[in-house]
Structure 1
Amino acid sequence: MRLVSRNFFLGLLLLLSLDSPALATDKQTLPTLATPFAAVDFELDGEDGRTYRLSDYRGQVVLINFWATWCPPCRYEMPSLERLWQQVKGKGVVILAINVGEDEDTIFEFMGQYPMTFPLPMDQDGKVIKAYPVMGLPTSYIISPQGQVTHRAVGSREWDDAGLIEQLMSMRK
């Protein structure tokens, strides 16, 4: 019985890994939401002491990423978000990686292992994550320059994939 359980578990892992973005060889893209919706504005303090308002980025493509330091898939995708940021910053695409429920010290310690230079607003009371239909962490949304949520990604991605970069850059005004 143990061998059957072990083989079933290994088979399930193999099946799940076949759909993993890390193993994908084709360019990735995010499907468009069937019904785009207006992005909910927010104001959050960042771990850097700045205040971040979504409305400040109107006219740009915004990638909102909900994450936490304790989340293994979040840890997996953070380096690719940083590589993406290095390619798109100052070009009409913004990343707002919204940490859910943690404080500055926890995020600062995490950044020692995963250096990040993009904005890290903190949703310490969970108010912003409740305004978006988040299914789990990480969940990311793409917001058009017009303020419409047009795409959603549940789970980790290789954000610096050429297909995703093309998709984000093509959405600019």
Structure 2
Amino acid sequence: MTFSAWCVRSAYVLMALATTAAQAQYQKLAWPASVPTPQIQMTDLNDQPWNAAELKGKLVVLNFWATWCGPCKQELPSLQALSDASAGNPVVITVDVKESASKVTSFILGNRIRLPVVLDKSGEIARQWGVRAFPTTVLIGADGQARWRIQGALDWNGPEAHAWIKSLKLEP
């Protein structure tokens, strides 16, 4: 094998490895059956209340993030696109953890994010939902029960996310 052929072959191997690594930026975990789903009782930056009564019968994509988190910044536009295309089902709610209202408002305006943003100033909401890394997203069924916790960034317009949401919509 010539040196140039070896270089080309090595480049293909490296591209394949990089593609696999890029696709594995998240971990999907089933919500533990022994852990009750926390109650959603929040108010977003626009004073919109979010609670069980408001969300009854709808799927919820509950995303925990922070402005300093690079993967969170990459993920938010796909969550916005999911929300824009969903006609309200699923409902996408984002929770910024431990940052000021002014910082978060500046960020969402500068990045054209129109999703509901709840401020978790103390980190208590994130703690209740078992968030240990950013971003973390919890998929909640129409019955109000958490089904999946996704740790890490995901393209919410990709085939995997669409399949997960479709399977939740098909639940009785």
What's the TM-score once normalised by structure 2's chain length? 0.77
Alignment check: 8 A CA contact 2:63 2:94 kept: yes
**2:158 matched to 1:161?**
yes
Aligned counterpart for 1:60 among listed residues 51, 58, 61: 58
Alignment check: 8 A CA contact 2:83 2:92 kept: yes
Q: CA RMSD in A?
A: 2.7
Aligned counterpart for 2:84 among listed residues 79, 83, 86: 86
Question: Where in structure 2 are the equivalents of 1:121-132 lying within 5 Å?
Answer: 121-132=118-129
The residue type paired with residue 152 of structure 1 is: R
Q: CA deviation at 1:156?
A: 0.5
User: Which 4+ stretches in 1 moved above 3 angstroms?
Assistant: 14-17, 28-38
Question: Where in structure 2 are the equivalents of 1:1-173 lying within 5 Å?
Answer: 18-21=20-23, 30=28, 32-33=30-31, 35=33, 37-90=35-88, 92-172=89-169
Alignment check: 8 A CA contact 2:37 2:145 kept: yes
Structure 1 counterpart SS, 2:117: coil
Number of residues of Structure 1 aligned to a counterpart in Structure 2: 155
Alpha carbons of structure 1 residues 146 and 101: separation in structure 2 relative to 1, 3 Å: same
Unaligned 5+ runs, structure 2? 1-15
The residue type paired with residue 96 of structure 1 is: I
1:22-46 CA deviation, whole Å, 9 max, x = no partner?
99xxxx9956446374321132231
Structure 2 counterpart SS, 1:78: helix
Equivalent residue number for residue 8 of structure 1:
none
Larger Rg: 2
What's the TM-score once normalised by structure 1's chain length? 0.77
